[in-house]
Structure 1
Amino acid sequence: MLPLSSMYRGLWRTAVHKLGTRGTPLSRVLSTCDEAPSGLFDADTIFALSSGHGRCGVAVVRVSGPATATALRCMAGLTRRLPPPRTALLRSITDPISKEVLDRGLVLWFPAPHSFTGEDSVEFHIHGGAAVITAVLQALGSVSGMRPAEAGEFTRRAFQAGKLDLTEVEGLGDLIHAETEAQRRQALRQMSGDLGRLYQDWSNRLKRCLAHVEAFIDFSEDELIEDGVLNQVDTSLKKLQAEMLQHLKDERRGERLRSGIQVVIAGDTNAGKSSLLNTLCQRPAAIVSPIAGTTRDVVETALDIGGFPVLLSDTAGLRDSADLVEREGVRRARERVEQADLTLVVVDCVHLPSDEGGAVASLQEHLRTVLQQRPNTDRCLLVLNKVDLLSEMQRRRLNEELSGAAGLPPVCLISCQTHEGLTDFLTVLHRRVQMLCGDPLSGAPTLTQARHRAHLQQCTASLAQYQRYRDRDLALAAEGVRLALTSLGRITGRVGPEEILDIIFKDFCIGK
């Protein structure tokens, strides 16, 4: 299979040959499209549909690379100068070979380096019909040095040009895929560079510390380094390590918000778990039946709870069974409860003991059975279902007993049949979900990717190496700082030895 650059070179030659056979002079063909030098085939210019697929009012086709100006002149009929930068110009979009008008739309010219990719770029704003889009893309493919962009290639070029660091690239990807308001806010904050600036500040401080240590190793004998440099490094690195460890103690809030909070509905058979799932997602997602053990597998649905993403799972009723299929369902239910960020323990309140203190004791025992551990009140909600079947006296007695009970998570009395208490339950649920994710706009930016956490853990471990070898072998201690800097640089994608040399010469005037 030919490389894309070779393929498009062949297409261009074919197009030139066809025009020549139609009687068009070759010199006119080349001057019309300002044929680029052969070197442009090595530095490909890429193009792609940047707006969504499907029929729409306006579609945006983006072009980036050294042959962008050529494409703009060919297809917008600009024989003289290019349009003013970042100014919309209404033009007829034509095929560069046949000169057929393909559409009439807007063109915007973004000369390097003031573009998303840092290269010459242009956008064609055309009508969103499938035939129009196809015709424009095929016409771009006939221009010399052009090829279709690969997935994420525009953003990759922006990163390589220094327009974005890796955290901003990931934030852009998260913003594109955001489905809830909280996800949008977190992704927008990361894309704007808040997280990258935090890590870059740490990188700059680490570079300075490493530069001072290496300068001390190389030049302390010549008395070119002032006293107390290593003590300053010790203080700076301890403070940095403390900040990183505090940053890691975020209880995975940012990661939960990015991927969705795992909320599991668990409890005995026929407690109303599937009814609760259907009530929350407002559709018959799970089969509801008076027959115990109807749910055998995990039923999942994605929800937006007050702007926060939730993956809600209905599970099989927890009981001993001789049925192999149901036993597997119970095993999967217990596995989901162990993995859950929040567990909704559903109880049929009709079957609670009526004697004084019996309901609380029964609920405590039930929690231990479902969670198989000491209940974490921050990760659990008690949902007492079928409250519509209780008499007024039973409700009053139950409320009085639960109001003064200790050792229980928040308790919500609801009826999936009549929707009684549902509003209060959703308020409590939203509060718990918000607590698990935090406010993406307040405080320091949080970790959003597992790779960030892994690199930061490696970074703190490397700083511990500095402290371990500081008084025994300063070279090994410096290596710990260097490894820490490398781990941190892997998060943003920016680290290099030349930056260390710059700081050494700036701070220490070596050889002066």
Structure 2
Amino acid sequence: MEMRSGDTIVALSSGAPPSGVAVIRLSGPDVATIIKSVAGGLPEPRRLSLRPIGDQSLLDRGLVAYFPAPHSFTGEDCAELQVHGSPAGVRAILKLLTTQGARLAEAGEFTRRAFENGKLDLVEIEGLGDLLEAETENQRRQALARFEGGLSQHVDSWRHQLLDLRAEIEARLDFSDEGDVSDALPQSFGSSIATLQSDIGLALASAEHGRVVREGIRVALAGAPNAGKSSLLNALARSDIAIVTDEAGTTRDVREVPLDIHGQLYILLDLAGLRETDSKAEAEGVRRARHAISQADIVLWLSAPDIEDTDSALRAGADLRIGTKEDIGAAPDVDHLVSVATGAGLTELLAAIESIGRTIMGGEPALISRARDRVALASAIDALDSAQTQLEVPEIAAESLRLASQSLERLLGRVDAERVLDRLFSSFCIGK
């Protein structure tokens, strides 16, 4: 992504028109000049002013806000124009602003400038991205906590502790021959490393919790062909997403359907029926189904009164055993009976799934939610572990502590961030 940081950029930051109000955002060195030219003067900083917007002719009348650097989202001079959200009006204003010297922003360019100017770190930006995409209440809470700096504060605390440890050991390396510093490390040095390692380990242990908030709790609907998996999925999702026929083996791939249960995202997995088959396509579906079951957070085994079960081991290991087609009979030895035809048992089944989900989730949403988090924290823990075993050779222990610091710096985007920046910011919408 080519982003020229010296330019003044402009974009529509609200949703696509038509809309009641459209918000157009500018950032860069020429913002003040452009606003003076198109809005009849520069408003008082951080106060909305009703202004005519246009050049030779009036294009609209709207609210204009000016945010001088460095007290703005990007850290540069910024402005926002709140205008009527007509497609023609927005196009005309954007065209005027570009003729005045601004250029249309790339995806995520405003947020990238905020990062480059030290207004946000990489972890907070990922939280902002998650917040923009949040579809459930738990996702919103977790993303907002990350965006507000919850994880960054923890990482900063660990960084400062590491700096103290590194200063302690490096002072002995640099000044040991001058007599001002004792050669021996304090007795508490090893325990300080262990305490820090434990703190980071506790955060890392919450990673799975954070993942299921961000990505959803995966619920596999498993069972023999024609046990009613697709019908149950449609009933729970209140849609006709899955194809339902009397023919066995119609589901050939893993079908994923999102479901919001009281603010938590669940991903229902409709799987191929498990049986031996000569069909290569169906056999591949069965293979994918078994893989999905092994990766699922919750496994439901569906049994029907008119269908023979095909995998006793999976049935025994399932989190819930569901008897389907309750309207034509009751499958034996099940936890819940449901009928898609009559709706019987569906509410109770959702409550049972949610109960298991709450056990998986635990308490407050975790701040560790991305694979990048897990890699960085695991790397820091490994480096601290090495440092503890190397205290007899301070030069090597100091290098291990430096590597631990580097892992945390990389998590915040302060070291070697370029590799993740383009991919991260390109996922943002234009104007953010």
TM-score (structure 2 length as normaliser): 0.90
The higher relative CO (CA closer than 8 Å, separation ≥ 6) is in 2
After TM superposition, the structure 1 stretch with the greater mean CA deviation from structure 2, 245-254 or 478-487, is 245-254
TM-aligned CA deviation for residue 366 of structure 1: 4.3
Aligned to 1:460: 381
Other structure's SS at 2:187 match: helix
Q: Is 2:393 aligned against 1:448?
A: no
* Amino acid paired to 1:102: L
Q: Is 2:328 aligned against 1:389?
A: yes
TM-aligned CA deviation for residue 147 of structure 1: 1.8
Aligned to 1:300: 256
CA distance in 2 between counterparts of 1:230 and 1:142 reads 66
TM-aligned CA deviation for residue 349 of structure 1: 4.4
Aligned to 1:59: 22
Q: How does 1:175-194 map to 2 (within 5 A)?
A: 175-194=131-150
Q: Is 2:351 aligned against 1:431?
A: no
Aligned to 1:36: none
Residues 183 and 4 of structure 1, relative CA distance in 2, 3 Å threshold: closer
Any conservation in 1 of the 2:225–2:248 contact (CA below 8 Å)? yes
Task: Flag structure 2 segments of 5+ consecutive residues without an equivalent.
Answer: 417-432
Aligned to 2:98: 141
After TM superposition, the structure 1 stretch with the greater mean CA deviation from structure 2, 299-308 or 288-297, is 288-297
Aligned to 2:12: 49
Any conservation in 1 of the 2:139–2:264 contact (CA below 8 Å)? yes
Aligned to 2:285: 329
Task: Flag structure 1 segments of 5+ consecutive residues without an equivalent.
Answer: 6-41, 353-361, 403-410, 497-512
Matching residue within 396, 417, 420 for 1:476: 396
Aligned to 1:368: 313
Pair member with larger Rg = 1
CA distance in 2 between counterparts of 1:4 and 1:314 reads 43
Aligned to 1:37: none
Other structure's SS at 1:302 match: strand
* Amino acid paired to 1:117: T
Aligned to 2:304: 348
* Amino acid paired to 2:15: G
For residues 340-381 of structure 1, give each alpha carbon's deviation from its aligned partner in whole angstroms, at most 9, with x where no partner exists: 2221111114668xxxxxxxxx8xx945145xxx82x6xx22
Residues 297 and 43 of structure 1, relative CA distance in 2, 3 Å threshold: closer
Any conservation in 2 of the 1:308–1:434 contact (CA below 8 Å)? no
CA distance in 1 between counterparts of 2:398 and 2:97 reads 53
Residues 251 and 157 of structure 1, relative CA distance in 2, 3 Å threshold: closer
Any conservation in 2 of the 1:459–1:484 contact (CA below 8 Å)? yes
Residues 440 and 4 of structure 1, relative CA distance in 2, 3 Å threshold: closer
CA distance in 2 between counterparts of 1:349 and 1:412 reads 13
Any conservation in 2 of the 1:266–1:317 contact (CA below 8 Å)? yes
Aligned to 1:74: 37
Other structure's SS at 2:171 match: helix
Aligned to 1:153: 109
* Amino acid paired to 2:46: R
Any conservation in 1 of the 2:207–2:374 contact (CA below 8 Å)? no
Residues 4 and 348 of structure 1, relative CA distance in 2, 3 Å threshold: closer
| Percent identity for Structure 1 against Structure 2 | 43
Residues 462 and 4 of structure 1, relative CA distance in 2, 3 Å threshold: closer
CA distance in 2 between counterparts of 1:105 and 1:251 reads 46
Q: Is 2:87 aligned against 1:103?
A: no
RMSD (Å), alpha carbons: 2.3
CA distance in 2 between counterparts of 1:254 and 1:417 reads 37
Q: Is 2:28 aligned against 1:83?
A: no
CA distance in 2 between counterparts of 1:4 and 1:94 reads 28
Aligned to 1:339: 295
Any conservation in 1 of the 2:8–2:30 contact (CA below 8 Å)? yes
For residues 90-146 of structure 1, give each alpha carbon's deviation from its aligned partner in whole angstroms, at most 9, with x where no partner exists: 001013xxx1111110000111111111111110001111111111111111123x2
Matching residue within 337, 348, 356 for 1:413: 337
CA distance in 1 between counterparts of 2:69 and 2:188 reads 43
* Amino acid paired to 2:47: T
Matching residue within 44, 63, 85 for 1:128: 85
Number of equivalent positions: 415
For residues 430-473 of structure 1, give each alpha carbon's deviation from its aligned partner in whole angstroms, at most 9, with x where no partner exists: 122233334445xxx431110010011111111122122211x2
TM-aligned CA deviation for residue 256 of structure 1: 2.0
TM-aligned CA deviation for residue 299 of structure 1: 2.5
Q: Is 2:193 aligned against 1:237?
A: yes
Other structure's SS at 1:71 match: helix
Residues 367 and 130 of structure 1, relative CA distance in 2, 3 Å threshold: farther
Any conservation in 2 of the 1:350–1:387 contact (CA below 8 Å)? no
